[in-house]
Amino acid sequence: MSSLSPTAKNTIMSVFAMDQTGLLHKLVVPFHPGLHLGIIIAITVIVALVFATQPKRQYLAAGIPIVGLAGKGNINQARERFRHDSKRMLLEGYEKYKGNPFYVPTKRGERLMIPPKYVEELKNAPASIADFPATFVEVINPRHPVVIFSDLDQMFEGQITTIGTEQSLHPRIIKNQLNHHLPAVLPEVDDEVTTALELLLPDCNGTLAISLRRLDLLTLCPDWTEVNIGDIMTRTVARASSRMFGGTTLSNHEDWTRTMIDFTNDSFLAAQRLKDFPYYTRPLCQYFIPAVKRVFHHFGLSEELIVPIINSRENVKGKPKDLLQWLSENAGDRSKETISQISLHVAFAAIHTSAIGVTHILFDLCAMPEYIDPIREEVAAALESTDGLPSKKSFLKMPKLDSFMRESQRFNPLLLSQSHVLFHARITHSLFVVTFERLIRHDLTLTDGFTIPANTQIGVPAHA
pLDDT in tens, 16-71: 333 333 333 444 445 455 555 555 555 565 555 444 444 556 788 889 999 887 66
pLDDT in tens, 418-444: 333 333 333 333 344 677 888 898 899
For the chain, give the mean pLDDT.
75
Range of lowest pLDDT (139-148, 205-214, 215-224, 267-276) = 139-148
In the predicted structure, residue 262 carries a pLDDT above the cut 50: yes
Rounded CA gap, 352 and 348, in Å?
7
Q: What number is the average pLDDT over the span 189-216?
A: 68
Rounded CA gap, 49 and 149, in Å?
9
Burial of 454 (0-12, 13-18, 19+ CB in 10 A): middle
In the predicted structure, residue 370 carries a pLDDT above the cut 90: yes
Distances (CA, A) of 394 to 161, 335, 388, 432: 40, 39, 9, 31
Alpha helix (H) residue ranges in 314-395: 323-329, 336-367, 372-384, 392-395
For the chain, give the number of residues: 464
